[in-house]
Structure 1
Amino acid sequence: MFFSRIAILAALAGYATAQTSTDCDPTKKDCPPDPALGTEYSWNFNTTLDEKIWKMATGTYEYEDDGAKFTLQKEGESTLLQSNFYIFFGVVEAHVKMAKGQGLVSSVVLESDDLDEIDWEWMGYNTSEVQSNFFGKGNDTTFDRGGKHHVANADTEFHNYTTYWDQDILQWWIDGEMVRELPYNDESALFGKNYPQTPCRVQFSLWPAGRKEAPQGTIDWAGGLVEWDTAPFTMTLGKLRVKDFHSGKEYSYGDRSGSWQSIEILEGNSTALNELNKPEPKSLSEKWDDLGEGAHIGVYIGAGVAGALAIAGFLFFCLRQRRKGRLENALGNNPVPLNRAEMENFQKDWRQSEWKLNGGYQQVSN
């Protein structure tokens, strides 16, 4: 971020979107451990997000075939998607279309509990540029650490924005080409003191920096006030690949230094890893294959018995209908005209059946 983050946070007063914030700073007090990713995984954001992996902290999103859509429709809205996991050094590869419109900021951010931060930011007024930046321990006393990088049609075309980060070097890549590099001991990182080096979560946001209530410097940084009469404004997140350079269940701070050497790794499978490796629901054919041979035979026998009963029922129905037809014919209710010989035969059969059953014709009593 090129402008004072204090001013930006002031501009976001009343919003729940401040991306440079922490619930607990481990350099100042004891804090809960950070749940690790502990693996490498790729997402296509064209379906419902797993709430055990991702949290929509502010606003809403919609998904389509090409990815998750973060949209601002009216004044007062903003969006922030956060991972529920942290990585301790690693790679983040995000395929993004920025939101176009003055006053808007689209961003991909890595941020730690003690406010180490690595940024990709797009100013909505310039669709041919992306900015890179970093902060260490929330230090915003200087604002000469940002970079600007050309990228064509950033609002209408997906580009691959990749962050490579380890304890020695930080790199920003666009579409497979490295555009910036920061060594750990670089002067701009205060020779390591302000180098981002603690476990970070992954965040994506679209927010309005150009608001009427914001300081003029913030409005200028964002390219002017948001023109809400031209809304909606949409940022799209397509594919995402995240690789954690460490494996483990949790990361915790061993002291108040905030150095990477102080980070302790709790061994075991992380919650995220268990969720990502959870087996998919089985199909009917897979469930059938899981049944033993005896179960298969039982199903076949059951199906055979059911079929036999169905056939027997059908034959009984046909026989009953045949007898009913005979009686209707005998009583003259058959709608099809009968000749004299057929009528006499029906009457003879009917008399014989009455004799066998009742010993002769029985008159119905009144």
Structure 2
Amino acid sequence: MLVYLKYATASLAAATLVSGQTYSECNPLKKTCPANVGTTESRHTFDFTKSSSLDQWTTTAGNVKIGPNGAEFTINKQGDAPTIRTDFHVFFGEVSVTMKSAPGTGIVSSVVLQSDDLDEIDWEAVGGDTTQVQTNYFGKGDTTTYDRATFEPVLTPQEVFHTYKVVWTKEATTWSVDGNVLRTLSSDNAQSGIRYPQTPMNVRIGIWAGGDPNNAEGTIQWAGGLTDYSKTPYTMYIKDVTIVNYNPAESYTWSDRTGSAESIKFTGSANSTSSTTSKPSVVGSLITASSTSRPSSSDSASRPNTPSSFPVFNAASNLSAGSLSFLSVLVLVSGLLFL
């Protein structure tokens, strides 16, 4: 009961923060934006034990080193938030990341898919929680409800490499760990598809201190408590990443401001060979995995250890080029919450 109350309380404070932290360089729902850079390759595999693996990624904050255990994302001091982002977008597909999340109270290790109109799919591991990780999603940046996040069992994510995978199609999204599907979201269960992620996304990987003392109390509670910087370094390791694009193209153009999958137009020829694990089928101008099963029941399956209310917090807002600039916003909002 105490943990339920903790997360319910945190949700109220964290919900206020989201509007200040959500980040998009140009939101196509509000104005005309440049086309998204795509990729004509169906599959990209990145071995992060090799320095060349970062060639198609941009470091948007901090420094990321390559070591024998893969890419190292390290917090050494207050304000550190090393983050990388793919130089290309995918339009439905798969993202698989082999990760050892960072230890440390308040330290958050994140793998995020996000689009320009703030569709989002997340994995988040909190450093002080050794038994579970969080899944989440957002549609069009909407944070008016608190029922999207789930906590899924994962043994010692800070000590063991696990493979975290998202399979994202027009019909459904699944989250799996080490080959075991833990959650399935049908598009119908995201406000009848209105708030289902369905626009081209890039991939963002990073680490940040949700428990920083300058953050709002709701954020600190959600992250598990205050971060102790005297115990740094805190390091997340990413061994490898595989990205499969179900709709390869040179670029994706937003033809209107609906934010629907059907409004996205392809530019350029696609690779003729598909590396998807299931045979694709053409649906209009989109390719989706035909073998993806649509769940017959609601995504909100019974999970005894899952809080009934969750702090609504967009991970991608902290995994962007502007992540450090939000510190002043956090300080301001934190003060307003407790006036």
TM-score norm. by structure 2 comes to 0.74
Candidates 36, 39, 47, aligned match of 1:37: 39
Structure with the larger helix share: 1
Q: What is the aligned-residue identity percentage?
A: 35
**CA offset digits 1:261-313 (Å, max 9, x no partner):** 1000002369xxxxxxxxxxxxxxxxxxxxxxxxxxxxxxxxxxxxxxxxxxx
**CA offset digits 1:120-139 (Å, max 9, x no partner):** 00111102211000000000
CA 9–99 in structure 1, closer or farther in 2 if over 3 Å, else same: farther
Structure with the larger strand share: 2
Give the residue type in structure 1 aligned to 2:230.
D
Name the residue aligned to 1:260: 261
Name the residue aligned to 1:197: 198
Name the residue aligned to 2:17: 7
How do 1:189-268 residues align onto structure 2 when only pairs under 5 Å count?
189-268=190-269
Shift of 1:9: 6.8
The SS at the match of 2:51 is coil
Say whether 1:48 aligns with 2:51.
Answer: yes
Name the residue aligned to 1:135: 138
Superposed CA RMSD? 1.8
Larger radius of gyration: 1
The SS at the match of 2:188 is coil
The SS at the match of 1:249 is strand
Name the residue aligned to 1:82: 85
Shift of 1:50: 5.8
CA 49–60 in structure 1, closer or farther in 2 if over 3 Å, else same: farther
The SS at the match of 2:102 is coil
Asked if 2 retains the 8 angstrom alpha-carbon contact of 1:40 and 1:244, the reply is: yes
| Distance across 1 between alignment mates of 2:221 and 2:18 | 11
TM-score norm. by structure 1 comes to 0.68
Asked if 2 retains the 8 angstrom alpha-carbon contact of 1:105 and 1:124, the reply is: yes
Give the residue type in structure 1 aligned to 2:75.
L
Shift of 1:101: 0.7
**CA offset digits 1:202-245 (Å, max 9, x no partner):** 00010011122211111111111101111000001111110000
Say whether 1:111 aligns with 2:111.
Answer: no
Asked if 1 retains the 8 angstrom alpha-carbon contact of 2:121 and 2:197, the reply is: yes
| Distance across 2 between alignment mates of 1:255 and 1:185 | 22
Shift of 1:112: 0.1
Candidates 171, 174, 191, aligned match of 1:171: 174
CA 113–226 in structure 1, closer or farther in 2 if over 3 Å, else same: same
Name the residue aligned to 1:312: none
Shift of 1:52: 5.2
CA 157–73 in structure 1, closer or farther in 2 if over 3 Å, else same: same
Say whether 1:26 aligns with 2:25.
Answer: no
Gaps of 5+ in 1: 11-17, 271-366
Asked if 1 retains the 8 angstrom alpha-carbon contact of 2:64 and 2:83, the reply is: no
Gaps of 5+ in 2: 1-6, 272-339
Say whether 1:185 aligns with 2:188.
Answer: yes
Shift of 1:144: 1.4
Shift of 1:48: 2.1
Structure 1 stretch 253-262 or stretch 34-43: which is displaced more? Answer: 34-43
The SS at the match of 2:225 is coil
CA 242–178 in structure 1, closer or farther in 2 if over 3 Å, else same: same
